[in-house]
Amino acid sequence: MDVWDSLQLGFTVAMTSQNLAYCLLGVSVGMVVGVLPGIGHLAAISLLMPLTFHVPATAALVMLAGIYYGAQYGGSIASILLNLPGTASSAVICLDGYPLTQQGRAGPALLITTIASFVGSMLSIIVLIFLAPPLAQLALSFHSADYFAMMVLGLVAAGSISQGKPLIGLASVVLGLLIGLVGIDVNSGAMRMTFGMPELFSGISIIVIAMALFGVVEVISSIGKMSGRKESKTTITMRGLLPTANEWRQTFWPMMRGSAVGTGVGILPGTGGGSMAAFLAYAVEKRSSKTPEKFGKGAIAGITGPEAANNAAAQSAFIPTLTLGIPGDAIMALMLGALMIHGIAPGPRVITESPELFWGLVVSFLIGNFMLLVLNIPLIQVWVKILQIPYRLLFPVIILLICIGVYSLNRSSVDVMLVAGFSAVGFLLLKAGFEAAPLLLGFILGPMLEENLRRSLMLSRGEFTVFIERPISATFLGLAALLLVWVIKGELKPKLASPATSGS
């Protein structure tokens, strides 16, 4: 089946009333979540994931994905109006977006970021359409040892390129791997870290981990930050949204460069997706600008490039997730979790064995981005009003919904207590410098990592040389080793230099 036949299948699936409704729901919730700083799309996806258990897999993924890229659209609104990023990837928009608001140009800034978001997303979706099938075809020839090595590289990369110290990021990954071991070993039947509790025999649910680390912990961490937030008093008319001719001219190439940067970053597993893409695009625009001194003071390119980049990365991140089964960030890990909850094994066979799901999801990206373009601009005054909702009312409602959602999974109070326990531990770990995203990646990939490790050793009759005999697995493991050496060298270099400095 060629690409055009596949797209026709995708439109047939995506245009059903059910999938259109879930797409609209997802992008709408995503926009609201993106507008409200302090909540985040991870918390929203974790909160709504239990609702997807009773709908088809395609509708579930369409909605969850819509929340993700919908939040990327909305995240820049609070950045521009309040200097508060709605999402982590929108933080860089504050640098030039808020100065534009202070100059009375909030309307054009909001319109330009909406268009940049749309352009970045659409160009990245085109790459997804044409790159994903051949990549999945290539991955079908992979051996279990290759998959194991690829997952090792992805986990090392996710830990090494974390926002804090790389070694702590790697420790977060290991902790996630350990949590993923809880339950009955399917090969031996042995109990692992269940403490005799029947509720843990089947392992810890991804919903429990996600709601604890990205729901409760995020809310607790945001309370102090949001308590003294500003209120937006900006009034924006439809006429006031229009940029000048000069501002239009300054948007085209930054959008193109940002889209290219975001697409490239999103494809690479473990890079952190939109946040890295946005900051990298900002650096590219500042370096290529003839007037770099304007950056940080209201440069149009300073919002256009990063906005195109973070939305492009949000779409291209689905390429390794859907074709290789390797998530690039925590959001993609949740997407993999949703696939597994619906009984679909992530990896290259998704395209061949479930083409209606894959192509229906891809076409829903096209439809969802058009919905966002149509909805975002007329509703800007609504987003301004939403920003005035008191957070003292919003946060308790979120906690209550988390408890209800977790309890509804298995009608088990143990799940609620697990969320409370992981939230307390997660908050302490966050204060100690640990990060939740690498931990979640380790938790999701841990069972698949173990499965491919055991399968490889069974096929090779216990010979570990199978991982270095195959060129693909040897290359992946070699890259992972080089990355570890680079991290350790970076950690040791300041310590080795300090005695020499003190001695001089």
Q: What is the pLDDT of residues 284-336, one digit of tens each?
A: 898 888 888 888 888 898 899 999 998 998 899 898 888 888 887 778 888 88
The amino acid that residue 126 corresponds to is: I
Asked if residue 504 belongs to a domain, the reply is no
Asked if residue 61 belongs to a domain, the reply is yes
Residue range 111-124: mean pLDDT, rounded: 92
Which DSSP string corresponds to 286-299?
HHH-S-GGGTTS--
Distances (CA, A) of 431 to 164, 171, 307, 424, 437: 11, 15, 30, 11, 15
What is the pLDDT confidence band of residue 431, given thresholds at 50, 70 and 90? confident
Contact 33, 40 (CB under 8 A): yes
Q: What is the pLDDT at residue 347? A: 81
Instruction: Give the Cβ contact number of residue 463 at 10 Å.
Output: 11
Q: What is the pLDDT at residue 55? A: 87
What's the DSSP call for residue 142?
Answer: -
Asked if residue 16 belongs to a domain, the reply is yes
Reading the block at residue 472, the tokens are: 């693909």
User: Of the ranges 87-101, 121-135, 222-236, which is most confident?
Assistant: 121-135
User: Of the ranges 58-67, 133-142, 162-171, which is most confident?
Assistant: 58-67
Does 118 have pLDDT greater than 60?
A: yes
User: Of the ranges 153-157, 185-189, 222-226, 390-394, which is most confident?
Assistant: 153-157
Does 220 have pLDDT greater than 70?
A: yes
What is the pLDDT confidence band of residue 125, given thresholds at 50, 70 and 90? very high
What's the DSSP call for residue 70?
Answer: H
Q: What is the pTM of this model?
A: 0.78
Percent of the residues in the chain that have a pLDDT greater than 70, as a whole number: 88
Q: What is the pLDDT at residue 324? A: 83
User: Rg (Cα) of the chain, in Å, rounded?
Assistant: 23
Residue range 47-63: mean pLDDT, rounded: 85
The structure tokens 């290259």 sit at 348
Coil, strand, or helix at residue 181?
coil
What is the pLDDT confidence band of residue 504, given thresholds at 50, 70 and 90? very low
What is the pLDDT confidence band of residue 116, given thresholds at 50, 70 and 90? very high
Reading the block at residue 467, the tokens are: 């991982």
Q: What is the pLDDT at residue 293? A: 84
Of 17-31, 152-166, 297-311, 404-418, the range with the lowest mean pLDDT is 152-166
Q: What is the pLDDT at residue 119? A: 93
> Per the structure, how many domains does the chain have?
1
Q: What is the pLDDT at residue 495? A: 62
Asked if residue 501 belongs to a domain, the reply is no
What's the DSSP call for residue 89?
Answer: G
Reading the block at residue 144, the tokens are: 């279990």
- Torsional sign, CA 85, 87, 91, 94: negative
Asked if residue 266 belongs to a domain, the reply is yes
User: Of the ranges 213-227, 344-358, 395-409, which is most confident?
Assistant: 344-358
Q: 409 lies in which domain range?
A: 3-227+237-492
Coil, strand, or helix at residue 462?
coil
What is the pLDDT confidence band of residue 437, given thresholds at 50, 70 and 90? confident
Mean per-residue pLDDT over the chain, rounded: 82
Asked if residue 74 belongs to a domain, the reply is yes
Q: What is the pLDDT at residue 377? A: 75
Question: What pLDDT, in 10s, does the model give residues 249-293?
Answer: 888 999 999 999 999 888 876 555 667 788 888 888 988 888 888
Residue range 473-500: mean pLDDT, rounded: 78
Asked if residue 293 belongs to a domain, the reply is yes
Asked if residue 500 belongs to a domain, the reply is no
Question: What pLDDT, in 10s, does the model give residues 356-384?
Answer: 999 999 999 999 999 998 887 777 777 76
Question: What pLDDT, in 10s, does the model give residues 441-458?
Answer: 888 888 888 888 988 988
Q: What is the pLDDT at residue 501? A: 53
| Phi, psi (degrees; rounded to nearest 5) at 22 | -70, -30
What is the pLDDT confidence band of residue 22, given thresholds at 50, 70 and 90? very high
Q: What is the 3-state secondary structure (H, E, C) of 202-268?
A: CCCCHHHHHHHHHHHHHHHHHHHHHHCCCCCCCCCCCHHHCCCHHHHHCCHHHHHHHHHHHHHHHHC
Residue range 63-80: mean pLDDT, rounded: 85
**340 vs 88, which has greater pLDDT?**
340
Q: What is the pLDDT at residue 272? A: 54
